[in-house]
């Protein structure tokens, strides 16, 4: 069965609900790993007031018994603590109609979503389009990663750039990633971290928001995840889809990405060598060739646009009378790029887990392990 998930819930509703289908039985689940990822998503210099209210934790409702997956659908719930302030406005049975949104924000789903679903109160759009939904995705990513841990597959995330400030990364070793995990901006260089925080403060004071670039690397993958035989089985295509579906992402690149367009072939393609297995001298392909993992680390970068809710709002049109007005202002962040790195990591983790389980299939971890071992033994002889 293909790994998939569904989410439901609004940003100011009771909760976010998640159903994950296709997880094999026998996976050891540590709820604290899920909650740790949720906590990381809420951190970062430049976050808004909502993060002072929510303390996200996941509750597993089904599909796990005694800390072990059963093979049946897994349901999870993340409470929205802010619901107590919105119960009359966002009630499922009755609503008082207050805090209606009639002034769509440029860059958000407000206007087009209202036109598509015929909502005259654009709150019906923004409540679901909100990045609050990414908490559910983070929980899913942290859940499915635990099926990959027995095979030594590891994920590392970082922020490459926030606006005009770029991190310095001379060597991406474990010490670097330790600094990233403890950094308010997910940088590995202390001086660049300070510069980024000062830059965010300046952006916030001006009523603006700022975006950036995040990166995820995946280590210890076997070659052959994904496929070249059909478009919807290509690993890079599915990773790009998963990452582009994250709110505010406007660009995805793998390996050299757009850099491949400005160099000649001999400088782009990675020479192959053999030393107790096949390896590449470089990794410009970002670990994927022909839609398949090639055994090198997978490198994914994503560009996040500035959040469209501005405290110095842009011009728009009031949909009730078509008059020119300033856009609506909802509680927002000046910068959510560090949090975005957590969400993108979760999106990549899900696509990797899906490809891994598709390749080594099976209803239980024992069958998957046997298939994995058999495959790895075979390719050693290739």
Query: Which residues neighbour 258 within 8 Å (Cβ) at sequence distance 6 or greater?
Result: none
The bridge status of strand 298-304 relative to strand 212-219 is antiparallel
pLDDT at 253 over 90: yes
Is the Cβ–Cβ distance between 243 and 349 less than 8 Å?
no
pLDDT at 169 over 90: no
Q: Indicate the range of 53-67, 343-357, 363-377 predicted with least confidence.
A: 53-67
Average pLDDT, rounded, for the chain: 95
pLDDT in tens, 331-355: 678 999 999 999 999 999 999 999 9
Quote the pLDDT of residue 55.
Answer: 85
Q: What is the mean pLDDT of residues 258-265?
A: 96
Quote the pLDDT of residue 51.
Answer: 56
Q: What is the mean pLDDT of residues 96-121?
A: 94
Share of the chain above pLDDT 90, in %: 88
CA dihedral of 129, 133, 137, 139, whole degrees rounded to 10: 180
Quote the pLDDT of residue 263.
Answer: 95
Place of tokens 């997910």: 186
pLDDT in tens, 26-61: 999 999 999 999 999 999 998 766 555 668 999 999
The confidence band for 139, taking pLDDT boundaries of 50, 70 and 90, is: very high
The bridge status of strand 74-79 relative to strand 15-21 is antiparallel
d(C-alpha 219, C-alpha 344), whole Å: 16
pLDDT at 118 over 60: yes
d(C-alpha 382, C-alpha 379), whole Å: 5
Q: Find the DSSP H helices in the chain.
A: 31-42, 50-53, 87-90, 110-117, 123-129, 134-148, 174-181, 190-205, 235-244, 265-268, 337-360, 365-380
d(C-alpha 242, C-alpha 137), whole Å: 10
pLDDT at 25 over 90: yes
The confidence band for 310, taking pLDDT boundaries of 50, 70 and 90, is: confident
Quote the pLDDT of residue 362.
Answer: 86
Quote the pLDDT of residue 306.
Answer: 95
Q: What stretch of H or E contains 65?
A: strand 64-65
Quote the pLDDT of residue 95.
Answer: 87
d(C-alpha 205, C-alpha 78), whole Å: 32
Quote the pLDDT of residue 230.
Answer: 96
Highest mean pLDDT: which range of 1-10, 138-147, 199-208, 330-339: 138-147
d(C-alpha 15, C-alpha 38), whole Å: 14
Place of tokens 């007005």: 325
Q: Is the whole model's pTM more than 0.75, yes or no?
A: yes
pLDDT in tens, 176-233: 999 999 999 999 999 999 999 999 999 999 989 999 999 999 999 999 999 999 999 9
How many other C-beta atoms can be found within 10 angstroms of the C-beta atom of residue 204?
18
Is the Cβ–Cβ distance between 126 and 330 less than 8 Å?
yes
How many other C-beta atoms can be found within 10 angstroms of the C-beta atom of residue 350?
23
pLDDT at 153 over 90: yes
pLDDT at 298 over 90: yes
**Domains detected in the chain:** 4-380 (3.60.150.10)
pLDDT at 376 over 60: yes
């Amino acid at each position: 069965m293909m790994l998939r998930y569904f989410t439901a819930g609004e940003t100011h509703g009771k909760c976010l609900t998640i159903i994950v289908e296709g997880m094999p039985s026998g996976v050891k689940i540590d709820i604290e790993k899920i909650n740790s990822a949720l906590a990381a998503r809420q951190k970062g210099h430049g976050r808004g007031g909502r993060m002072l209210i929510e303390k996200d934790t996941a509750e597993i409702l089904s599909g796990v018994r005694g800390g072990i997956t059963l093979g049946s659908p897994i349901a999870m719930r993340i409470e929205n603590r802010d619901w107590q302030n919105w119960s009359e406005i966002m009630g499922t049975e009755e609503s008082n109609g207050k805090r209606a949104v009639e002034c769509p924000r440029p860059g958000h789903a407000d206007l087009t979503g209202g036109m598509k679903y015929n909502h005259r109160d654009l709150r019906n759009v923004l409540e679901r389009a909100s990045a609050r939904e990414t908490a559910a995705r983070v929980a899913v990513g942290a859940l499915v990663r635990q099926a990959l841990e027995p095979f030594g597959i590891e994920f590392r995330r970082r922020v490459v750039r926030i606006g005009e400030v770029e991190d310095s990364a001379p060597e991406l070793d474990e010490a670097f990633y330790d600094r990233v995990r403890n950094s308010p901006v997910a940088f590995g260089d202390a001086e660049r971290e300070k510069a980024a925080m000062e830059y965010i403060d300046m952006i916030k004071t001006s009523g603006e928001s700022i975006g950036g670039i995040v990166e995820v690397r995946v280590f210890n993958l076997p070659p052959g995840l994904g496929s070249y035989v059909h478009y919807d089985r290509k690993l890079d295509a599915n990773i790009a889809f998963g990452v582009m579906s994250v709110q505010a992402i406007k660009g995805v690149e793998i390996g050299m990405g757009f850099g491949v367009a400005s160099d000649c072939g001999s400088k782009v393609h990675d020479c192959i060598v053999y030393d107790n297995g096949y390896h590449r001298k470089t990794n410009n392909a970002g670990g994927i060739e022909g839609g398949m993992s090639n055994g090198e680390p997978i490198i994914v970068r994503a560009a996040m646009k500035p959040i469209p809710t501005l405290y110095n709002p842009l011009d728009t049109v009031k949909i009730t009378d078509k008059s020119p007005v300033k856009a609506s202002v909802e509680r927002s962040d000046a910068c959510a790029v560090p949090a975005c790195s957590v969400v993108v990591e979760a999106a990549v983790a899900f696509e990797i887990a899906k490809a891994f389980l598709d390749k080594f299939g099976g209803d239980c971890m024992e069958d998957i392990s046997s298939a994995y071992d058999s495959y790895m033994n075979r390719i050693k002889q290739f």
